[in-house]
Structure 1
Amino acid sequence: MSVEQDRFLQVVWAVARERGYRCYLSGPDVVTLSGPATFTLVLGDVRRAAASCPIEEWAMLVADRIDTHVITIETDTEYPLDYTDFTVMQYLVRTRLYGTTSAGVDGVRRMVATGLVQRVLIDHVHTVTHVTYDMLAHWPVTESELFALAERNVRADGGVDITRDAFDIPMAKGLPPIALLTGPEYLTAHARWLGDHPVTGRAGAVLIMPSKEWMYVYPVTGVEVIQSITVLADLAALHTDDPWPINSSVYWWRDGALDLAATTHREGHTVVIQPAEAFHRHTATLDDPDAASERG
């Protein structure tokens, strides 16, 4: 689609010109701007954000994205970071969870569950940089120590907001409220230590992370968790077009570990749910605490 046919790109072009930049398409939904500085914008997430707001707000969204890049470039120029200096980097590393389809291959990462990876980032306040294995080779820590440090930094940041709502979903009728976790930039990392938050049950919790900004959690206490899986799948479907997507799968947190509970996808107006075999077997023990304990 050309710029003339794409109204959102027309807004990007107009905002860029106002700031003294020329721009051109340099890839699928990738724009290169040249002027006071030269940089690229990947438009996927900002386009998703624009889809959920009035057209008259698009220019503000685009301007914010361009200004963020400019501020980052200016900051990096005036106060350049030495990525080999671990005495500084140790305070800047953070971590976040990503869907495997969007995580890429370059950077320190580990699988935490089917369809879910954890990556280590350097926080630049306005943007982030993925930690690469080349960076790690210059640091006096192992990969596992780096993940532990990044998690400690995220936990120390805190800032998780928890609200509870029954939601206007038919299958939610009769269920206790589902907890919605929002707030910090690295929210999804909190899924690793979910038990520190008052949102789990005796058998853990099931949760979705449809994007980096949202986490819905239901405590696992009995077989009603099967009903909650359907509610969570419906909620995930509502976030399909959110910026910074992760995936629509339902995960099971138990004893500090994440496992796949179910995969979900939309077929027309229907949400299709495929429970994971291990979780399906476990639900048979949920009304028998002794059996659940014996089988783990």
Structure 2
Amino acid sequence: MRESSSGLLRLLVNEVALRHGYGCEEIGGEFVLTGAVGGRVVLPCTRLDRRMARAPRQLWSALIADRLDTQIADLAAGHLDQSRLESVRPLLRTRLCSARTKGLINDVRRLVAPGLLQRVLVDFGDIMAPVTYAGAQRWGAKESDLFEIAERNTRAEGGLDLTAAEIDGMDDVDIQMLYGASDFVTAHVRWLDDYPVVGPWGALLVIPGHTHLLVHPITGPTVFAGTSLLAQLLVAGEAESPPIGRSIYWWRNRITVDIAATVRGSGDRMEVVPADHLESLLEIMRRA
């Protein structure tokens, strides 16, 4: 979406938030509405962008007002039942966010990789509500159970699409893109081996936002060329949407995801700083 369109969308969401007594911030690819008593509402930018793309610009205001006003009012009035786990079980979903995201201290969350958190949300349609530890306690639910339910529901929505990224001059470096019309694309980092993008030594990946993942299967010494190319693609996409993080991750299995490298600066001053274990991996591959 163009910057002017994004600006209008922010203005419309902020107006709805103010009407209901919420403050509004755009953080990590989502609008976060925070109430005076600590209640929060999450509006994924991907979801709003898709809705606006299907409607003429002159209808945006009415669409935002009608749909969001109704759901936020229902949530505030308690019409959207969150009192029992059984009421929200089919609505639980999960996605990833930066560990630097503000306001997560009371949310059900767990560390997936350094700087990368997974959390649980209740998906009401246009809006989501983060699941808090206080809410989980009221339900008598363990954190592990909530993640299991949320992951099962998210995977049941279907897999992502896969395409090879065609990059001029880099034909020998395999970069795959996983994407889909979903607000939970990032959750599929957990199940990367469901897709043919993992090599004998795992895969490198970056998370440019909530719309797609970029992955390089680790099959041999191209690992450093893959690291450099992923860094360039990550930085190039920052103009349109801030990435979930500026790290390149080394996916080994569903339990172990490490930082492979950190990206600093941009443009001519961009620097890719490999982690020590990435150097060790290259030595292992050379011996193999």
Which TM-score band applies after superposition, normalised by the shorter structure?
0.7 to 0.9
Distance in 2, matches of 1:234 and 1:258, equals 21
Q: % of aligned pairs identical?
A: 32
Q: Deviation digits for residues 239-275 of structure 1, max 9, x if unmatched?
A: 2244464112100111222111111022453321111
Tell me, yes or no, if the aligned pair for 2:113 and 2:258 is still in contact at 8 Å: yes
Q: Deviation digits for residues 198-231 of structure 1, max 9, x if unmatched?
A: 1111111100002111200111111111110000
Tell me, yes or no, if the aligned pair for 1:252 and 1:259 is still in contact at 8 Å: yes
Where does residue 42 of structure 1 map in the other structure? 25
Q: Deviation digits for residues 108-166 of structure 1, max 9, x if unmatched?
A: 11111111111111111112111100011022331112112211111111141111123
Structure 1 segment 147-166 matched on structure 2, within 5 A: 147-166=147-166
Distance in 2, matches of 1:153 and 1:253, equals 23
The count of residues paired between Structure 1 and Structure 2 equals 260
Compared CA separation, residues 114 and 73, structure 1 to 2 (3 A) = same
Q: Deviation digits for residues 174-205 of structure 1, max 9, x if unmatched?
A: 223x1111112111111011001111111111
- What is the one-letter code of the residue matched to 1:269? D
Counterpart of 1:202 in 2: which secondary structure?
A: coil
Where does residue 179 of structure 1 map in the other structure? 176
Bigger Rg, structure 1 or 2:
1
Q: Of 210, 213, 222, which residue of structure 2 is paired with 1:212?
A: 210
Where does residue 81 of structure 1 map in the other structure? 80
Residue 286 of structure 1 and its aligned partner are, at CA, apart by 1.8
Compared CA separation, residues 43 and 68, structure 1 to 2 (3 A) = farther
Where does residue 113 of structure 1 map in the other structure? 113
Compared CA separation, residues 136 and 79, structure 1 to 2 (3 A) = closer
> RMSD of aligned C-alpha atoms?
3.3
Compared CA separation, residues 11 and 95, structure 1 to 2 (3 A) = closer
Distance in 2, matches of 1:223 and 1:66, equals 53
Structure 1 segment 1-296 matched on structure 2, within 5 A: 11=8, 32-34=17-19, 39-43=22-26, 65-73=64-72, 76=75, 80-104=79-103, 105-168=105-168, 170=169, 172-176=170-174, 178-183=175-180, 184-243=182-241, 245-256=243-254, 257-289=256-288
Q: Deviation digits for residues 9-52 of structure 1, max 9, x if unmatched?
A: 99579869xxxxx95xxxxxxx8533xx5554435658999xxx
- What is the one-letter code of the residue matched to 2:195? H
Tell me, yes or no, if the aligned pair for 2:163 and 2:178 is still in contact at 8 Å: yes
Distance in 2, matches of 1:12 and 1:123, equals 21
TM-score, normalization: structure 2? 0.77
Tell me, yes or no, if the aligned pair for 1:84 and 1:139 is still in contact at 8 Å: yes
Distance in 1, matches of 2:80 and 2:110, equals 25
Residue 68 of structure 1 and its aligned partner are, at CA, apart by 4.5
- What is the one-letter code of the residue matched to 2:84? D
